[in-house]
Amino acid sequence: MSLIKSISGIRGTIGGRPGDGLSALDVVKFTAAYARFIRQGREGEVVKPKIVVGRDARLSGKMVESLVCGTLTAMGMDVVKIGLATTPTTEIAVTGEKADGGIIITASHNPRQWNALKLLNRNGEFLNDAEGKEVLRIAEAEDFSFAEVDELGRVMKNDTWNEKHIDAVLGLKLVDVEAIRKAGFRVAVDAVNSVGGIVIPQLLRALGVEEVIELNCEPNGKFAHTPEPIPENLGQIASLMKEGRADVGFVVDPDVDRLAIVMENGEMFVEEYTLVAVADYVLSNTPGASVSNLSSSRALRDVAAKHGCKYAAAAVGEVNVVTKMKEVGAVIGGEGNGGVIYPELHYGRDALVGVALFLTLLAKSGKKVSELKKDYPAYAIAKHKVELTPGLDVDKLLNQVKEIYASEEVTDIDGVKIDFPDSWVHLRKSNTEPIIRIYSEAHSGAEADALAVKVKGAVLKAAGK
């Protein structure tokens, strides 16, 4: 059993005693705290606040949805229940419904026994650090009270948002349906039997793709493989591509905010390059700033430089990337884990936008996906960690590392990132275990590994080991 309460919501395995796993009582308590947070400062208003609720196709989705909707109405709020919906669809529905907030019931890429509540503000964006802390405080103190009988809210259904989302993507200026239609692509999709199984094939057909090969596109929550869209989980689509059956393969996670691309030869385009390719296309048409997080590939910075555009890095976490994007007026941004944020539509990672922009780029380039990949600077990321003695002052240790590399370009807005001329290394402490995660990037996997091992040695030496 696991229950993790953080500023980005509550996440846990279904079942168990209250407080041990994501039990029904925990769902109710956390939802009530969120409702109280949305209501704060608005007591006495005549109009009831309205919250959009969407869910991915997890086995526990309907059960959690009924708890969330029941709790919101018990807190005197109206609910727009949009049913099976992606995370970006729910985000768009919040502003589309002029709602006061939104809850997405999804544990993203976590396995089937998990579920979670992701909390949105009235702009359909994730709560920030301070807001998330306030929800946690209210939940902890049970600082809420339920509505009396005449004040109860009601639940309204609206299952048109998937379609509206697809229409909005088709309406984007940089999405060229005609070019995609003419290219006559054969496209394979693996949606891990979640909501992407409905929306991605639907989007592809609306984009003029006639041949769509659907893998794991039944939204029944029976995840056909571990849901995170990383190479070790994508053998099925890779072997289909190796047989030459499709020009491009798309893989999404259960809530469809991450997009991985598989090349026509069955090899990975590599998740880091989803954002890089989409940004290349966006910047070549609408030059402007771009943003990704500190742990994302440097290839984006290089592509931005090629277009004469500014690049800025943000702390890890979607909310941090979005904040930075607004600050610098970015035209494109996201995260290296296949998360594309295109503010022309909304400020949230959106695999539908990613698919449409990538297919437009591919159609206009006239290249194979593997040829397109060669246009981008080659980098590889390595992921290591250092296990430390429990109780050790990790912040102090990170400061020591910073001093060791003081002559390099050091960024400390989120752990310690050291940029070298041809590589970088990023150290972050875990909030749950006594470890430091070390991510590094260089022009080859072997060089990235060597760099991580070298820095790991420096950390251990500073820790007195």
**Binding positions for Mg ion, rule: CB under 5 A:** 108, 253, 255, 257
Pairing state between β 114-120 and 290-293: unpaired
Distance CA 316, CA 431 (A): 13
Active site residues: 108
Q: How far is the CB of 143 from Mg ion (least distance, A)?
A: 30
Work out how close the CB of 160 gets to Mg ion at its nearest, in angstroms, rounded to a whole number.
23
Residues 34 and 12: their CA atoms lie apart, in Å, by 17
Cα 223-334-242 angle, rounded to 5 deg: 50
Identify which of residues 252 and 363 has a Cβ nearer to Mg ion in the complex. Answer: 252
Provide the minimum distance between the beta carbon of 331 and Mg ion in the complex, in angstroms, as a whole number. 23
Nearer to Mg ion, 180 or 278 (CB): 278
Angle at 429 between CA 426 and CA 435, to 5 degrees: 110
Q: From CA 69, how far away is CA 51, in angstroms rounded?
A: 9
Report yes or no: 126 and 319 within 8 Å, Cβ to Cβ.
Answer: yes
Shortest distance in whole angstroms from residue 271 CB to Mg ion: 12
Q: Are 194 and 57 in contact (CB under 8 A)?
A: yes
Q: How, if at all, do strands 311-314 and 78-84 pair?
A: unpaired
- Distance, CA of 71 to CA of 49 (rounded, Å): 13
- Residue tagged 């299952």 (tokens): 159
Bridge partners (DSSP) of residue 362 are: none
Alpha carbon distance 27, 41 (integer Å): 24
Question: d(Cα 85, Cα 296) in Å, to the nearest integer?
Answer: 27
Which CB sits closer to Mg ion, 253 or 272? 253
Report in angstroms how near the CB of residue 189 gets to Mg ion at its nearest: 16
What phi and psi, each to the nearest 5 degrees, are found at residue 155? -105, 125
The Cα-based distances of 447 to 220, 294, 386, 425 in angstroms read 42, 19, 18, 11
For residue 110, the minimal CB distance to Mg ion (Å) is: 9
Structure tokens at 111: 């396995």
Tokens 């407080």 sit on residue: 19
User: Residue 231 CB, nearest distance to Mg ion (Å)?
Assistant: 17
- Quote the strand ranges of 279-323, DSSP E: 290-293, 311-314
Q: Residue of minimal CB distance from Mg ion?
A: 108
Residue 126: name the closest of 272, 12, 254, 6 by CA: 6
